[in-house]
Amino acid sequence: MKKLVVALVAAALAPVAAAQNVKIGVVTFLSGPAAAPFGVPAKNAAEFVVEALNAGKGPAPYTKRGFGGAAIEVVMLDEAGSTTTQVTEFRNLVQRANVDLVIGYVSSGNCLAIAPVAEELKKLVNFFDCGTPRIFEDGSYEYVFRTSPTATMDSVGAALYVKDAKPGVKSIAGINQNYAWGQDSWGDFELAMKMLVPSVETKTSQMPKLFAGQYNAEISALMSAKPDVIHSSFWNGDLEALILQGGPRGLMKQSLTILTTGETAMHKLGAQIPDGTVLGARGPFGPYAPNNAYNKWFHGGYVGKYKEEPNYASYQMAQAFLGVKLAWEKAQDASGGKRPTNEQVAAALKGSTFEGPGGTVRMAIGKGHQAIMETAYGQTRMAGGKLTVVNVKRYPAEQVNPPEGVKSSDWIKSGFKAK
Amino acid sequence: MNQLLSVGVDGVIYSAWLFTAALGLTLIYGVMKIVNVTHGSFYALGAYAGASITGAWLARGYPPMLSYAVLLGSALLVTLVVAPLIERAILRFMYAKDEVVILLITYALFLILEDVIKLVWGVNPYFIAEPYALLGSFSVAGLAYPTYNLILVALALVAGLGLAWILHSTRVGKLLLAVIHDPEISRAMGINVDRYYLVTFTFGSLLAALAGAYTAPTVSVVPGLGVEIIVLSFAVVVIGGLGSLPGAALGAVIVGVVRSLSVHYMPQVELFVIYFVMAMVLAFRPRGLFSLAEPRRI
C-alpha cells in the first residue's frame, strides 16, 4: 500500500519534474554522408555525456546532476537537408518544442544561416563543430557561441607542422573539395605557408567535386607535380577514398601528406594509412587529447558504452555540453539558485574558460563567443598492429588563432602578428 | 609527353568505370523508355553487397584471389533479389503512364532504397582494400597504377561488347530489338514483351550493381554513394544519346578524357567541364551524338 502511494505521488509529480528539465535541442547529421564521420559519433557523445551528467557522474566541477540539478532532456534532430530546412527545423525546435537551448551543427553553411535566426528568437545556440571563422568575424551576436576552434587553426597548425617536420620545404600542392570548406582550408594553408616560407612554390591545387569518389587523375597530377608536401582537408568517404587510392600508388610516400581531418579515418582504415602520413584532429582531440581527468572520464566511458574510439566530433560535442553546463550553473548560482534565463547563461558563457576532455577551452575571441584551444599534429606509425601517431607537435592557442578583433585572413596576411 | 600518357591512362580508367555504370541506364531507357533513377540505388546496393560479402569472405581467411569472383557473385545476388521484385511489384503497373510519371516513381524508389540501405547496413562505412592492392601495380610514364584498374577496363569491354553481341548476333537480341522498335507489334507477333522488360530491367540493374561492386575496393562505401553516379551516368548517356550503346561508349570516353585533361592542365575548371561538354553537345544535337530519327507513329 505504501509503495502504491509513493508511486501515485511520483506519477502526480512527474509532469512538474518534466517541466523542470532542461530541454536541449541537439542537431547533428543522423543521415547522409556526414553522419558516419561526424554526426553519429557526436550523437553518441551527446548521449553518453547526458546520461553521465543526469546520473551526477561527471568529473569535478561537472558533478552536479544534469544542469544545476535539473535533468537534461534531449530533443535530437537530423541536420541532413537544405539550409532552408535547417532554419525551419530550428524555428520548430524553439517555438514548438520549446527547447531551452540548442547545441549542434556540423555544416558551416548551416551555422551561418542559424546564427541570425537564433539572435532573432533570442535562443542560446552553441555550435559544436562547424569550422568557418566568418560567424563571429562578419557578425556580432549575444546568443550565439562556438566552443570549438575555427578552421583557421587547422590550416595554420598544418603549415607550422610542415615547417617543423620538413625544414627546407620548397613546394606544396593541395587536393581539397570544391566548396567553401575545401577552398577556405586550402586558401588559409597556402597563405600561411607563403608567410612562413616565402620561397615556397605551389605546384598544383586540385579541387574535385564534393563526394566525387574517384581520384585516379588527381593522384596522377599530384604525383607528376612531385611537391614536397600535399595538403588535404578531405573528409568522410572522400578522405577514405583518397587514402585507399593514393596509398597503393605511393602518394603518401612520395610527398609528406597532411590530412587535416585524418583522425576520423584513423580507427577505420588503420593499416591502409601509410606510415608518415600527417593526421590532424581539428584540435587536441582523439590521439592528441591530454591525459587529464576529463579525457579519462569521457574516453573511458565512450569506449565502454560504444566499443569504439571517439573521434574529434565526439570530443567537440562533449566539450560543448560541459561549457554550457558550467555557464548554466554559474548563472543559476548568481541568480540565487533560480533557473537562469538565456541572457544570464550567455553572460556567464561569454569570455569563460573551462576544462574538457580536449584540455583548456577559452572563449577568448569573437567578443567572448568563440573558443580558442591549442592544436596538435602527428605522423602515423603502425606499431603492434595498431595505428599510432608519433612526432606529435603541439601549438599553443595564441600561435594558431588570431587575436581578438582581427580577421583570420588579415592575421595570416600580417605574418601572424599579435594585435 | 609523359603527362599526356598519364592523361590517357587516367582517362581510360575513368571512362571504363563510367561506361560500366552508365551502360545499364541506357539499355533500360532504350528498351523500356524509362529514365531509371533507381540505377544509382543498384550501384550502391552492388557496392554494399560487394563490400560486406567480400569483407566477410576475406575475414574468414578464404583465398583473396577469389575475392574478385565474390564481388561478381555479390552483385548477382543483390540484383536477382531486388530488381525482379521492383519490376514485378511496381514498375510493370506503370508502363502505360507518361515517361515523366515513371521517372518520378523511380526517383521515389531511389529515396526508399537509400533508406533501406541504411536500415540494412547502417551509416558506418564499409571497406575492402585488399582486392585493390592484391594484383600489384604497373607503371606508365613513371607513375604507378594498381593493376586492379585493368579489371575495371576489362569489365567495361566485356559488358559493352557482350551486350552488342547479344543485341546483334543472337535470336534473343533480335527479338529485343523488335521490342525496342515497337512493343505493340512485337506483342502482336507473339513476343512475350513483359518477360523482355523483366529481363532487361534485371540485366540493366545488374550492370549498375557490377559497377558498384567492383568500385567498392577503391572507395569507402557510405550512404549517398548512388547519388553522384546517377548524375554522371545521365551526363554520359545524354551526351551519347539516350538508349544508344555506342553513344554511351563515346559519351564515357569524352567525359573521361575531358575530365582527365582538365585535372592535369586546368584543375580549376574540372567541376564544370563535364557539364560544359554536355551543354555544348545538347546545343548542337539536342538528342545526343548518336540519336536516331524516330518514326512517326501516326
- A35, A221, A268 ranked by CB distance to B263: nearest: A221
Residue B179 has pLDDT above 70, yes or no: yes
Please, which pLDDT band fits residue B242 given cuts at 50, 70 and 90?
confident
**Distance of CA B161 to CAs B19, B71, B263, Å?**
12, 21, 29
Residue B293 has pLDDT above 90, yes or no: no
Averaged pLDDT score across all residues of chain A:
93
Q: Which residues of A touch B (CB under 8 A)?
A: 30-33, 35-36, 39-40, 178, 204-209, 211-214, 216-218, 220-221, 223-224, 236-237, 239-241, 244-245, 247-250, 268-269, 272
Residue A16 has pLDDT above 50, yes or no: no
**A232: helix, coil or strand?**
strand
User: What is the model's pLDDT at position A7?
Assistant: 47
Give me the mean pLDDT over the B14-19 stretch.
96
**CA A159 to CA A209: how far, in whole Å?**
24
Residue A15 has pLDDT above 50, yes or no: no
The torsion defined by the Cα of A264, A270, A276 and A277, in degrees rounded to 10, comes to: -30
- Spans of all domains in chain A: 15-149+289-372, 152-281+374-413
- The separation between CA A136 and the C-alpha centre of its own chain, rounded to angstroms, equals 16
User: What is the model's pLDDT at position B295?
Assistant: 55
- B137, B218, B227 ranked by CB distance to A245: nearest: B218
Give me the mean pLDDT over the A162-186 stretch.
94
B222 — contact with chain A (CB < 8 Å)? yes
B55 — contact with chain A (CB < 8 Å)? no
**Residues of chain B with C-beta less than 8 angstroms from the C-beta of A241:** 218-220
B228 — contact with chain A (CB < 8 Å)? yes
End-to-end CA distance of chain A: 71
Please, which pLDDT band fits residue A234 given cuts at 50, 70 and 90?
very high
The pTM of the full predicted model, rounded to 2 decimals, is 0.90
Range of lowest pLDDT (A33-37, A87-91, A153-157, A283-287):
A33-37
- Å between B102 CA and nearest CA of chain A: 25
B212 — contact with chain A (CB < 8 Å)? no
**Distance of CA B11 to CAs A315, B136, B153, Å?**
42, 20, 11
- Å between B228 CA and nearest CA of chain A: 7
User: What is the model's pLDDT at position B191?
Assistant: 94
Closest CA to B225 of B41, B27, B14, B11: B41
Cell numbers 544542469 correspond to what residue?
Answer: A67
Nearest Cα residue in chain B from A41: B124
Reported as a single tens digit per residue, the pLDDT across B22-41 is 999 999 999 999 999 999 99
Closest CA to B275 of A238, A209, A149: A209
Please, which pLDDT band fits residue B290 given cuts at 50, 70 and 90?
confident
Please, which pLDDT band fits residue B266 given cuts at 50, 70 and 90?
very high
- The separation between CA A21 and the C-alpha centre of its own chain, rounded to angstroms, equals 27
Reported as a single tens digit per residue, the pLDDT across A246-303 is 999 999 999 999 999 999 999 889 889 999 999 999 999 999 999 999 999 999 999 9
- Spans of all domains in chain B: 23-225
CATH of domain A152-281+374-413: 3.40.50.2300
**Residues of chain B with C-beta less than 8 angstroms from the C-beta of A187:** none
Q: A–B: how many Cβ contacts below 8 A?
A: 126
**CA A234 to CA A152: how far, in whole Å?**
15
**CA B255 to CA B269: how far, in whole Å?**
13
Give me the mean pLDDT over the A333-354 stretch.
97
Give me the mean pLDDT over the A358-385 stretch.
96
B123 — contact with chain A (CB < 8 Å)? yes
Question: For a pLDDT cut of 90, what percent of chain B falls above it?
Answer: 85
Give me the mean pLDDT over the B213-221 stretch.
95
Cβ separation A244–B220 shorter than 8 A: yes
Residue A3 has pLDDT above 80, yes or no: no
Nearest Cα residue in chain B from A30: B123
Question: For a pLDDT cut of 90, what percent of chain A falls above it?
Answer: 87
Residue A6 has pLDDT above 50, yes or no: no
Residue B244 has pLDDT above 50, yes or no: yes
Nearest Cα residue in chain A from B114: A32
**Residues of chain B with C-beta less than 8 angstroms from the C-beta of A178:** 270-271
Averaged pLDDT score across all residues of chain B:
93
Range of lowest pLDDT (A211-215, A318-322, A392-396, B76-80):
A211-215
Residue A14 has pLDDT above 60, yes or no: no
User: What is the model's pLDDT at position A162?
Assistant: 97
CA geometry: angle A134, A128, A111, nearest 5 deg:
40
Class of domain A15-149+289-372: alpha beta
Tell me the ipTM for this assembly.
0.92
Contact by Cβ (8 Å): A86, A114: yes
User: What is the model's pLDDT at position A419?
Assistant: 67
Contact by Cβ (8 Å): A25, A97: yes
**CA B171 to CA B124: how far, in whole Å?**
46
Instruction: Sort B296 into a burial class: Cβ within 10 Å, 0-12 / 13-18 / 19+.
Output: exposed
Residue A18 has pLDDT above 50, yes or no: no
The torsion defined by the Cα of A206, A209, A210 and A213, in degrees rounded to 10, comes to: -90
B267 — contact with chain A (CB < 8 Å)? yes
Of the two residues A418 and B60, the one the predictor is more confident about is B60
Give me the mean pLDDT over the A338-360 stretch.
97
